[in-house]
Chain A
Amino acid sequence: MSDWGFAGRYDDVSGQVAIVGIGEAEQTSASGRTTREIAAQAVERALADSGLAPGDVDGIMRAPFGRDQFDQRAYHEHFGTSHQMWESDRGGGMVWAGTAPYEAARALHEGRARHIVNAFAVAWATQRGEMVGGPGEVHAQERFKQSLEVPFGWFPQPVYFATIARRHMHDYGTTQEQLGAIAVACRRHANLTPGAVMHDKPLTMEQYLASPAIVEPFRKEDCCLISDGGAAYVMTTPERARDLRPPVIEVAGVGIGSASTGTYWSQQRAFTSTPQVFAAPVAFDMAGLTPDDVDVLTCYDPFTIVSLMQIEDMGFCAKGEGGPFVEDDALSFDGGRLPYNTHGGMLSHAYVLGIAHVVEVVRQLRGEAAAQVPRARVGVYGGYTGPQASTLVLTRP
């Protein structure tokens, strides 16, 4: 069934963009920092990694939401610069962490910028104390949800995705232990990653299964963190990249998919699928690669079931076989069939909405990750919002 969505029409940008600098802010629990302070730290570190000076960067990308993201004005205030910058709100995290390189490719090709930084940060752990209803509050303000979802108990996010997990279990026989395998693998990777929020907090399958359910079938370990943090990456052409720090990591493919049946998950006809069904084939075709070529995968992972569905929908296994596929250390960096979220993901590394996932793929391809996959040459990020998904294929030529 694939009549419920569509792939975006993307020009071929394979080999037109390289990621030349990566940086993470400190990923923490409540820190007292502002979003822009966090983003500035990430951008500083990405520039330092690339070897570029603040005045060399003439393009900046940020999320299409949030008033306090790191925009051109914030950049100049922080670095004391004043030059003209190309600016785009088609960046940041989530789906856009995967599609920002596509937008950057167009800007680089058209000569609107030479070096572009994409940044995203949150201070939600610090702000949590001021929240009225937590991250679900904005959903509670939507009339659609007020009228057609909340009255039936379909609220907030853990409930949506627990229901989807239940349906996946019913349709395909997916088990609690299989969801747990994802949580345990991510925690193991976070325990190997010094900057992860859940570093030094081991999780065994026994502990996972003994953890009380918060909304069946989810334990808290099935759900992402709320944390302060951020990340950034710098892009330029592969030609310019060869004058910067090696190795060059190239964008080989990008794809985006959208559901056409509605904005809200309750409108989805394919209840246990994601728009990766549409995004991934475009990205792999552009790259001239297949899922079998992938050495390391990271996916936007708000809940364990979203990891499992994306693994299926990107073609790493058949639909419905994600449960058996992730069993038995299959996602481990050291010998697993598909090393997955090797920094810990949003479940155990940090809740920075996917941008740190892209940074982790670059680290893996450079050979600099904490939980390093041996000889990684092809890495993929799966971005996600619900109604949209993106696939970004990176390679080390």
Chain B
Amino acid sequence: MSEDRSEAEARSSHVPREDRSEAEARSSHVPREDRSEAEARSSHVPSEDRSEA
């Protein structure tokens, strides 16, 4: 990801990707590296800090 892209995301989205990952890592007991796999395997771990809306 280029620097420009990263900045554009931060400016243009509801939930910048990097911040969301950090927030998710802080907000749950699922280790950060395992979070996406856990989400893929099981849907019992709602991601608290993202939005569909």
Contacts and interface: CB of A to CB of B under 8 A. Distances in A.
A68 B10 CA distance: 9
B52 interface: yes
Nearest to A387: B46
A302 to B, nearest CB: 4
A205 B36 CA distance: 45
Contact of A127 (B11, B16, B36, B49): B11
A127 B19 CA distance: 19
Interface string B27-52: 10000000010011001111111111
A260 B12 contact: no
A124 B46 contact: no
A175 interface: no
A132 B8 contact: yes
How many A residues touch the partner, as a band?
35 or more
A263 B17 contact: no
Interface string A329-367: 000000000000000000000000100000000000000
Contact of B20 (A65, A124, A386): A65
B19 A385 contact: no
Contacts of A208: none
Interface stretch (A12-20, A22-30, A133-141, A191-199): A133-141
A262 interface: yes
26 contacts: A89-B23, A94-B51, A94-B53, A124-B12, A127-B11, A127-B12, A130-B11, A131-B11, A134-B12, A137-B9, A137-B13, A138-B12, A138-B15, A138-B16, A138-B17, A258-B48, A260-B44, A261-B43, A262-B39, A262-B46, A300-B53, A303-B53, A386-B50, A386-B51, A386-B53, A387-B46
Task: Return the 8 tightest CB-CB contacts between A and B, nearest first.
Answer: A386-B52, A138-B13, A262-B43, A385-B51, A131-B12, A263-B47, A65-B15, A302-B53
